[in-house]
Chains A and B, each alone.
Chain A
């Protein structure tokens, strides 16, 4: 987890955002602050989903502009992080729907081999491990990938359920199925 995200974790991003901001500049400052705290997690999420840095950057800005419009119109946000990721998720889904066909899973995006192992035996083992993980990830559906990425960004189960608009017990079963697939493929015993 990167430093900027770690710094944002300690802030009350899951708390209710004040709705009594009636000054434009104060509202802009507040949204800018939220943008600084959540831009990287949102960008990472969108980048992992879309696989395109340009689109991810553009949609990241769009997410926080929508936050400003929402608050400017008198709307309320109970959980800022959940709200932002939900908008990001919806934007990502809309963006994917606009494509003529769903792009195949971009293996290089999902997996870029780290530094080569110092020795041949370790490199073989690492290749085997990455191959099995790759296989496991390729078996995941689009929704399961979204769910896994949201969890990887540190959202709680309840926040993920809010973003995906599903019930918490359903999400637990959903994540359990995903982790089972990962465990099955990455089992070292």
Chain B
């Protein structure tokens, strides 16, 4: 209201200045031109001022025109004189210059006062062109995580294009140290359907070792033996030496690592992304000092890997370069590679060790791996990782997929809807040690006669698991721990069938309440805790996985009785060492009853903090 009256008062008291009246009279653009015209019509005072200005100008112009006593003009002969002088000047100057005029014209035109918009447009266009050019020229920034994801996706796509795929890879392995340089050629056939692998090596003399030979007299090149030792010592998968899983393993093993994503060019001119991990010393003997993982950018296919390993007095460089790669159907592979083809769905006799001893190239070398049975802790970790892998591909609920303890390993078998789904599940389970997977599609399952199907019982068992009848199933490590936990804890005071029902109810609450959410940190936490690193981080967002982790650590009550003022609690996030069994009394059933005791943390709630 006040501003309205002030504005009205201003309009009533405002008068144009002398300059504004002069501009209005001369027809020049005035910021308040319209208002000046309207005002002078209504304001006698300003109209008088305007007339005075007009009168003064008129007087001056009348006087000025009278000075010339008629139309003032240049004399007639001046035009002829000017034409003559112009001709003389033209003869002196010669022809006009072409290019200098054009350049000068354009540059002067850009910087003249009236062409500032044109200059701005020109400069903006120039900047835009430069930015677009630089943008196109520079490689797009991509993270290591995204590269590994793309590699996995590309691999899964290749696997799904062929039924019963066999991966063929040919590498050149080179070991270089201060003293010498050695090279071998290494070929691998990987039957993903039947979990079989064969390999062939050639040394520098190009002498091929027999395929699938189990002869102890066949010498394996020392270079490959040394390389395999590196893989064995780090529990890496030698069946797929160029895999993202192995790279992640190497990366995790480098102490104080720093990872970079570099861009390079391969020998054939293709662009490549190089994931480079380097650590800071001092390193113990046998430790991985640095890793380079080269991925072809065109199709996200890994083509090379470089491992730097600390030896006694030097750092040895293992370079693995891919020479050939192909994914073919099992039928297209010569029978001499795998010998007798394995029937569909047939499991390996000893699935727990096949990854450790896939090819009997050298009996002495691989025999050590064959006898290396996993410990109970290894099997528990493998089971957790397998369950998480199944969960990560949304196959843990509603599908008859069973996870059970086999001979020296964890067996995962079941039926999925399609071949694509099967490949997806198998891919998720790939690389997990001590795990043998026998996943079949519905079509494959229907094609097998019921009597001939060796996994029928397992399938039925798996179906019963989904129905909640878990008491008759083979006891898994986690299940056994759960039973022990609830027997000593929440269901301790009960007897007989009442106690059994109580235990089953508690376990069922955990299994059936699982949701779908991905949390890779749990596996990281387990692995890190097993190595004593305790650097993993758990975000308890899935009860299914939480249950497995809790039982693996066997210390869920630690979340209840540990000191409340720990820094991790303030961060409202559980860490692996929060579940350490060493500082908690076992048998506190209320922890499970509370949903793993998480609500008892200060400020933690189930759904508000991703619990």
Q: Which residues of A line the B interface, CB within 8 A?
A: 2-4, 19-24, 27-28, 31-32, 35-36, 39-40, 43-44, 47-48, 57, 60-61, 64-65, 68-69, 71-76, 78-79, 109-114, 129-130, 133, 137, 148, 152, 156-157, 162, 172-173, 175-176, 179-180, 182-183, 185-189
- Cα A31 to Cα B96 with chains together (Å): 14
Residues of B within 8 A of A39 (CB): 73-74, 78-79, 82
Residues of B within 8 A of A72 (CB): 90, 93, 96
Report yes or no: B78 in contact with A74, Cβ–Cβ below 8 A: no
Report yes or no: B72 in contact with A40, Cβ–Cβ below 8 A: yes
If the complex has contacts A2-B73, A22-B98, A179-B22, are A130 and B63 also in contact, measured as CB distance less than 8 A?
A: yes
If the complex has contacts A24-B95, A65-B85, are A133 and B59 also in contact, measured as CB distance less than 8 A?
A: yes
Report yes or no: B82 in contact with A114, Cβ–Cβ below 8 A: no
- Cα A111 to Cα B60 with chains together (Å): 10
- Most chain B CB within a 10 A radius of its CB, from A23, A48, A179: A179
- Cα A161 to Cα B61 with chains together (Å): 21
Task: Give the top 8 A-B pairs by smallest Cβ distance, nearest first.
Answer: A74-B101, A182-B56, A2-B71, A19-B105, A176-B19, A183-B56, A74-B104, A114-B66
Report yes or no: B75 in contact with A57, Cβ–Cβ below 8 A: yes
- Cα A176 to Cα B25 with chains together (Å): 12
Residue of A nearest to B27 (CB): A156
Question: Interface-forming stretch among B108-116, B177-185, B479-487, B497-505?
Answer: B108-116
Report yes or no: B63 in contact with A2, Cβ–Cβ below 8 A: no
Report yes or no: B55 in contact with A22, Cβ–Cβ below 8 A: no
B452 at the interface (CB under 8 A from A): no
Residues 1-46 of B at the A interface (beta carbon under 8 Å): 18-19, 22-23, 26, 28
Report yes or no: A76 in contact with B52, Cβ–Cβ below 8 A: no
Residue of B nearest to A161 (CB): B113
Report yes or no: A112 in contact with B66, Cβ–Cβ below 8 A: yes
- Cα A152 to Cα B67 with chains together (Å): 13
Report yes or no: B86 in contact with A65, Cβ–Cβ below 8 A: yes
Report yes or no: A173 in contact with B96, Cβ–Cβ below 8 A: no
Residue of A nearest to B94 (CB): A24
Report yes or no: A109 in contact with B75, Cβ–Cβ below 8 A: no
If the complex has contacts A57-B75, A61-B85, A109-B67, are A74 and B100 also in contact, measured as CB distance less than 8 A?
A: yes
Report yes or no: B56 in contact with A76, Cβ–Cβ below 8 A: no
Report yes or no: A133 in contact with B96, Cβ–Cβ below 8 A: no
Report yes or no: B53 in contact with A179, Cβ–Cβ below 8 A: yes
Q: How far is the CB of A152 from chain B (nearest CB, A)?
A: 6
Report yes or no: A176 in contact with B18, Cβ–Cβ below 8 A: yes
If the complex has contacts A32-B83, A65-B85, A111-B67, are A182 and B59 also in contact, measured as CB distance less than 8 A?
A: yes
Report yes or no: B22 in contact with A48, Cβ–Cβ below 8 A: no
Subset of 15 A-B contacts with CB under 8 Å: A19-B105, A21-B96, A24-B90, A31-B86, A35-B79, A47-B72, A48-B67, A68-B89, A73-B96, A76-B104, A78-B109, A109-B67, A110-B63, A179-B53, A183-B53
Report yes or no: A2 in contact with B86, Cβ–Cβ below 8 A: no
With beta carbons under 8 angstroms apart, the residue of A35, A61, A172 that contacts B23 is A172
Report yes or no: B93 in contact with A110, Cβ–Cβ below 8 A: no
Residue of A nearest to B64 (CB): A152
Report yes or no: B89 in contact with A65, Cβ–Cβ below 8 A: yes
If the complex has contacts A73-B101, A175-B22, are A186 and B66 also in contact, measured as CB distance less than 8 A?
A: no
Residues of A within 8 A of B608 (CB): none
- Cα A3 to Cα B66 with chains together (Å): 16
If the complex has contacts A44-B72, A76-B105, are A152 and B61 also in contact, measured as CB distance less than 8 A?
A: yes
Q: Which residues of B line the A interface, CB within 8 A?
A: 18-19, 22-23, 26, 28, 48, 52-53, 55-57, 59-64, 66-69, 71-75, 78-79, 81-83, 85-87, 89-90, 93, 95-98, 100-105, 108-109, 112-115
Q: How far is the CB of A26 from chain B (nearest CB, A)?
A: 10
- Cα A73 to Cα B98 with chains together (Å): 9
- Most chain A CB within a 10 A radius of its CB, from B18, B48, B82, B108: B82
- Cα A152 to Cα B60 with chains together (Å): 9
- Cα A57 to Cα B57 with chains together (Å): 27
Report yes or no: A183 in contact with B73, Cβ–Cβ below 8 A: no
Residue of A nearest to B75 (CB): A57
Report yes or no: B95 in contact with A78, Cβ–Cβ below 8 A: no
Q: How far is the CB of B345 from chain A (nearest CB, A)?
A: 84
If the complex has contacts A2-B72, A44-B68, A110-B67, are A74 and B102 also in contact, measured as CB distance less than 8 A?
A: yes
Residue of A nearest to B19 (CB): A176
Residues of B within 8 A of A79 (CB): 114
- Cα A129 to Cα B56 with chains together (Å): 11
Residue of B nearest to A66 (CB): B89
Residues of B within 8 A of A76 (CB): 104-105, 108-109, 112
With beta carbons under 8 angstroms apart, the residue of B73, B81, B95, B112 that contacts A43 is B73
Known: A24-B93, A111-B67. 15 other contacts (CB 8 A): A2-B72, A20-B105, A39-B79, A39-B82, A71-B96, A72-B93, A73-B104, A75-B108, A112-B66, A162-B113, A175-B19, A175-B22, A176-B22, A183-B53, A186-B60
Residues of B within 8 A of A68 (CB): 86, 89-90
With beta carbons under 8 angstroms apart, the residue of A156, A175, A183 that contacts B52 is A183
Report yes or no: B66 in contact with A24, Cβ–Cβ below 8 A: no
If the complex has contacts A2-B73, A57-B74, A152-B64, are A180 and B18 also in contact, measured as CB distance less than 8 A?
A: yes
With beta carbons under 8 angstroms apart, the residue of A31, A60, A74 that contacts B105 is A74
If the complex has contacts A76-B108, A183-B53, are A57 and B78 also in contact, measured as CB distance less than 8 A?
A: yes
Report yes or no: A182 in contact with B60, Cβ–Cβ below 8 A: yes
Residues of A within 8 A of B23 (CB): 157, 172
- Most chain B CB within a 10 A radius of its CB, from A21, A61, A71, A110: A61
Residues of A within 8 A of B96 (CB): 21-24, 27, 71-74
Residues of B within 8 A of A175 (CB): 19, 22
Residue of B nearest to A25 (CB): B90
Q: How far is the CB of A125 from chain B (nearest CB, A)?
A: 12
Q: How far is the CB of A78 from chain B (nearest CB, A)?
A: 5
Report yes or no: B101 in contact with A187, Cβ–Cβ below 8 A: no
Report yes or no: B19 in contact with A61, Cβ–Cβ below 8 A: no
If the complex has contacts A21-B96, A24-B95, are A69 and B105 also in contact, measured as CB distance less than 8 A?
A: no
Q: How far is the CB of A15 from chain B (nearest CB, A)?
A: 10
- Cα A40 to Cα B70 with chains together (Å): 13
Q: How far is the CB of B59 from chain A (nearest CB, A)?
A: 5
- Cα A112 to Cα B65 with chains together (Å): 9
Q: How far is the CB of B455 from chain A (nearest CB, A)?
A: 88
Report yes or no: B63 in contact with A69, Cβ–Cβ below 8 A: no
Report yes or no: B78 in contact with A61, Cβ–Cβ below 8 A: yes
Report yes or no: B78 in contact with A60, Cβ–Cβ below 8 A: yes
Q: How far is the CB of B431 from chain A (nearest CB, A)?
A: 73
With beta carbons under 8 angstroms apart, the residue of B57, B71, B93 that contacts A179 is B57
